[in-house]
C-alpha cells in the first residue's frame, strides 16, 4: 500500500470508528457488532504502525491511552470555571426564585438539571479537533489532562463543524457498576479502595499513565458552552441542544420550568430517582435559561446570581443492628462498630457503621437488635443517626464496652477523652493498623500495600514493624496469596520510592497521637530534620501555631520511648529521607512566617509554600501577631480581614517573587 492509499484509508477508518463510537456510546443505537468494530479498529492500528507519520493526534486509537507523562502542565482557563452558591432547603429555593424574579420584574424560566457528582473539566476544540482537555483546578488554573480525556469514549475527538473554536464544560464521572468492579478488583489485589465513585473518577483522571485511565471506564456529561466562535445562542437550552447535535453526551433529565412549586416538585422527583440512576448525583442545579436575563442578574464576587445548586441531604435508611463489633486501632483505641442488615444507601450497600465510642452509644441508647436509622456522613462514612425505640426487642440490654482487648486479651482503660484503650503496646491489632497507616496514601504512600497485603505480610512473619517493610524481598512477597512476581516487584518498587516522601510524611506515618497531616507539616517546617524534632523541648513545641500543651506532651512522650527512637534510627539507616522540603536555595526569608490566602495568579498554594521553605521561611495556617506576611491572591477571605485588623503586612504574588529574587 502506498502512503497516499494509507492516508486515504486511515481517514476513512477514523471517520467510521468515530461514527460508530457515537452511535454506541452517545446515541445508544449501535449499527455494527463489537466484532466488526474491533476489526476496523485493529486495521487502523496496523496502518498507523506501518505509517506512523500519518497518525492523527485525535486518532480513535488514542482511546486506549498513550505514552506516560512525567507531570501535568498547567492550563489557564480563558473563561473562569466558577462554582455555584449552594442551598439546602426549599425555603432557600423559593427565596432565590423570588429575588431573581424581583430583579427581572417578571417570571423567569429556569433550566433544572441533575447535579452530577464527578470532576469538572474543560474540553477545547480548534477547527473541530479536540486540542486541550483540563481539570477545573481552582477555577482559573487547571491541569492539562488531554491524553487521559481522549480515553473517555463519550468525548468526541472531532466535531462535524466549521466553527474555529468551541470550548465546553462537563463532569467526568465513574458509573456505579464500574466503581463496584474496580473496588472489588483492588480489594483482591491489595490495591487502593476508593471511598465513592467521585473519588475514583478524580484519581483515575489524574493518572500520569493514560493507559490506566483508559482501563477505568470513565464517562462524561457536558453541561455548558464556555466559548463558541462563529455562533450565538439566546438560551442555555438552545446551546445544549446544539451540543447534542455535535455529538456531545449532554446532561440528561433537564427541564425548563417556572415557579417555585414546579421546581421543588422536580427536585423531589430527581431525589426519588437518585438511587436508581447508574451514576451519582448530589443535588439539582437551577439556572436562569435566558442568556439576556443572566446579563441583567449579574454575578456576585465568586458565584453567579442567576443560578444555585440545591444539595440533597444525606440519604437515610432504616435497618436492624445485629451486633456491635470492637475494632482496635493503631493507637490502641477500641472503636465499636455496628453490624447491620445490608441496606442500599447513597449508591452503595452498607452493612456496618461506626458507633464512635461508648458515650455516643449511651447518648442514643443504641442496643443490639434495635431498628436504627443510618446515613453516610458526607456521603462517605456510614453512621447511626437514631434508634426507633418502638421496635425494640423485649429484654434488649444497654451495651457495655469490654474490659479486656478483643485482640490480645490484655486489660483496657478509659482515658479522659471518652476513648477506651488497650494497655498492650505489642497488641497484634495495633500492629496491623499502625502499618496500614504507615503505608497509607497520605503517609508514606506505598501503593499496593493495603489492608489485605499488610495482614498477609504479618501472618507470614515478614514484618513486625515499619522498618521491616524496607527489608522485604520480592521473592518472599511473591509467595504470598494473590501476589505473584509482577505484583511483588511493583510493591518493592513502591516501597523504594516511598523512601523519598520527606519528613512531614514520615512524621505523620509514625502515628504520633494528636498529630495529623497539618500538624506533621508544621513540625517538619519548624525543626527541619528528625533529630532536631526528637530533642525538641515543650517550650519550642508550644510556640508552633495551633499547638497546645497537650499536643506538645504527645510529641515529647512519643520520642521519650526508646523503641520509637530505635525505629527512627533504623529507618534512617535504611535510607529514608528525614529532612524537610527541597534543597535550600537561600536565606532570603529566614525568620519570616507566611500565611497564604486566596488564589494566586500563577502558582498553586503548595508551589508557593515550597518556595517559602526553599528560601528559609515558614508557613502557618492561621494569622496571628507572629505572622510576618500574608501572601494574598484573589478571593481572599477572613485571613486577609484578620491580617488587616492586626496590622500584619499583606503582599501579592509579585511582591513575594521580588523578595526571593525571582522578579
| Catalytic residue numbers, as ranges | 115
Euclidean distance between CA atoms 11 and 29, whole angstroms: 23
Euclidean distance between CA atoms 315 and 463, whole angstroms: 41
Euclidean distance between CA atoms 390 and 393, whole angstroms: 9
Can you point out the beta strands (E) in 419-528? 420-422
Of 441, 449, 442, nearest in space to 470 by CA: 449
For residue 78, give every residue at least 6 positions away whose Cβ sits within 8 Å of its Cβ, in sequence order, or none.
Answer: 167, 226, 227
CA distances 68 to 206, 210, 240, 422, Å, are 12, 6, 34, 47
Euclidean distance between CA atoms 532 and 523, whole angstroms: 10
Dihedral Cα 354, 356, 359, 365, nearest 10 deg? -10
Cα end-to-end span (Å), the chain: 57
Buried b (16+ CB within 10 A) or exposed e, 253-287: ebeebeebeebbebbeebbeebeebebbbbbbbbb
Of 438, 388, 439, 412, nearest in space to 326 by CA: 412
Q: Are strands 629-632 and 649-651 parallel, antiparallel or unpaired?
A: parallel
Backbone phi, then psi, for 173, in 5-degree steps? -140, 165
Residue 495 near residue 469 (C-beta atoms within 8 A):
yes
Q: What is the grid cell recorded at 15?
A: 471517520
- The 8-class DSSP code of residue 448 comes to T
For residue 630, give every residue at least 6 positions away whose Cβ sits within 8 Å of its Cβ, in sequence order, or none.
Answer: 594, 595, 596, 597, 623, 639, 640, 643, 648, 649, 650, 651
Residue 156 near residue 170 (C-beta atoms within 8 A):
no
Residue with cell 463543524: 161
Residue 366 near residue 384 (C-beta atoms within 8 A):
yes
Quick check: helix, strand or coil at residue 290?
strand
For residue 545, give every residue at least 6 positions away whose Cβ sits within 8 Å of its Cβ, in sequence order, or none.
Answer: 522, 593, 620, 621, 622, 624, 626
Can you point out the beta strands (E) in 182-246? 219-229
Amino acid at each position: 500500500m502506498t502512503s497516499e492509499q494509507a492516508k486515504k484509508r486511515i481517514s476513512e477508518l477514523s471517520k467510521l470508528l468515530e461514527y460508530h463510537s457515537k452511535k454506541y456510546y452517545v446515541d445508544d443505537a449501535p449499527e455494527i457488532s463489537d466484532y466488526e468494530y474491533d476489526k476496523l479498529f485493529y486495521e487502523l492500528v496496523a496502518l498507523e504502525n506501518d505509517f506512523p507519520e500519518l497518525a492523527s493526534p485525535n486518532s480513535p486509537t488514542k482511546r486506549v491511552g498513550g505514552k506516560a507523562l512525567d507531570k501535568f502542565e498547567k492550563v489557564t482557563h480563558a473563561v473562569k470555571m466558577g462554582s455555584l452558591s449552594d442551598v439546602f432547603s426549599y425555603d432557600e429555593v423559593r427565596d432565590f426564585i423570588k429575588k431573581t424574579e424581583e430583579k427581572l420584574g417578571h417570571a423567569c424560566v429556569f433550566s433544572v438539571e441533575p447535579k452530577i457528582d464527578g470532576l469538572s473539566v474543560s474540553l477545547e476544540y480548534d477547527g473541530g479537533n479536540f486540542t486541550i482537555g483540563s481539570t477545573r483546578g481552582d477555577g482559573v488554573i487547571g491541569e492539562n489532562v488531554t491524553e487521559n480525556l481522549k480515553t473517555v469514549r463519550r468525548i468526541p475527538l472531532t466535531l462535524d463543524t466549521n466553527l474555529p473554536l468551541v470550548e465546553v464544560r462537563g463532569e467526568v464521572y465513574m458509573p456505579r457498576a464500574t466503581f463496584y468492579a474496580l473496588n472489588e478488583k483492588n480489594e483482591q489485589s491489595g490495591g487502593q479502595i476508593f471511598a465513592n465513585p467521585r473519588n475514583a473518577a478524580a484519581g483515575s483522571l489524574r493518572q500520569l499513565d493514560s493507559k490506566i485511565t483508559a482501563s477505568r471506564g470513565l464517562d462524561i456529561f457536558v453541561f455548558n458552552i464556555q466559548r463558541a466562535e462563529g455562533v450565538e445562542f439566546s438560551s442555555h437550552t438552545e446551546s445544549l441542544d446544539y451540543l447534542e447535535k455535535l455529538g456531545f453526551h449532554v446532561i440528561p433529565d433537564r427541564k425548563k420550568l417556572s415557579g417555585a412549586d414546579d421546581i421543588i416538585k422536580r427536585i423531589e422527583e430527581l431525589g426519588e430517582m437518585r438511587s436508581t440512576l447508574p451514576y451519582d448525583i448530589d443535588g439539582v442545579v437551577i439556572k436562569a435559561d435566558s442568556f439576556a436575563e443572566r446579563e441583567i442578574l449579574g454575578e456576585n464576587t465568586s458565584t453567579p446570581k442567576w443560578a444555585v445548586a440545591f444539595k440533597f441531604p444525606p440519604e437515610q435508611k432504616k435497618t436492624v443492628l445485629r451486633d456491635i463489633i470492637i475494632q482496635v486501632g493503631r493507637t490502641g483505641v477500641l472503636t465499636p462498630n455496628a453490624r447491620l442488615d445490608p441496606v442500599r444507601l447513597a449508591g452503595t450497600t452498607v452493612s456496618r457503621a461506626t458507633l464512635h465510642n461508648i458515650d455516643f452509644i449511651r447518648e442514643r441508647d443504641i442496643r443490639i437488635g434495635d431498628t436504627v436509622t443510618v446515613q453516610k456522613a458526607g456521603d462517605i462514612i456510614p453512621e447511626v443517626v437514631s434508634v426507633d425505640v418502638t421496635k425494640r426487642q423485649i429484654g434488649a440490654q444497654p451495651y457495655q464496652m469490654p474490659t479486656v482487648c478483643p485482640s490480645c486479651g490484655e486489660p483496657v482503660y478509659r482515658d479522659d477523652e471518652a476513648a477506651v484503650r488497650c494497655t498492650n503496646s505489642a497488641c497484634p491489632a495495633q500492629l496491623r493498623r499502625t502499618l496500614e497507616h504507615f503505608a497509607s496514601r497520605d503517609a508514606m504512600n506505598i501503593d499496593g500495600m493495603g489492608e489485605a497485603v499488610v495482614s498477609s505480610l504479618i501472618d507470614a512473619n515478614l514484618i513486625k514493624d515499619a522498618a521491616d517493610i524496607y527489608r522485604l524481598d520480592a521473592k518472599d512477597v511473591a509467595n504470598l496469596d494473590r501476589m505473584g512476581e509482577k505484583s511483588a516487584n511493583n510493591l518493592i518498587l513502591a516501597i523504594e520510592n516511598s523512601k523519598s516522601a520527606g519528613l512531614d510524611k514520615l512524621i505523620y506515618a509514625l502515628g504520633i497521637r494528636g498529630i495529623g497531616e497539618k500538624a506533621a507539616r508544621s513540625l517538619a517546617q519548624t525543626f527541619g530534620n528528625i533529630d532536631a524534632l526528637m530533642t525538641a523541648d515543650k517550650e519550642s513545641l508550644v510556640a508552633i501555631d495551633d499547638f497546645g500543651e497537650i499536643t506538645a506532651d504527645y510529641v515529647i512522650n512519643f520520642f521519650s520511648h526508646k523503641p520509637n527512637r530505635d525505629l527512627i534510627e533504623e529507618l534512617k539507616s535504611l535510607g529514608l529521607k528525614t529532612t524537610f522540603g527541597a534543597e535550600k536555595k537561600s536565606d532570603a526569608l529566614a525568620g519570616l512566617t507566611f500565611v497564604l490566602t486566596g488564589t494566586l495568579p500563577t502558582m498553586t498554594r503548595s508551589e508557593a509554600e515550597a518556595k517559602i521553605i526553599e528560601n528559609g521561611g515558614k508557613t502557618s495556617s492561621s494569622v496571628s501577631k507572629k505572622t510576618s506576611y500574608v501572601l494574598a491572591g484573589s478571593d481572599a477571605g477572613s485571613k486577609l480581614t484578620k491580617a488587616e485588623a492586626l496590622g500584619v503586612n499583606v503582599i501579592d504574588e509579585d511582591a513575594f517573587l521580588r523578595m526571593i529574587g525571582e522578579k
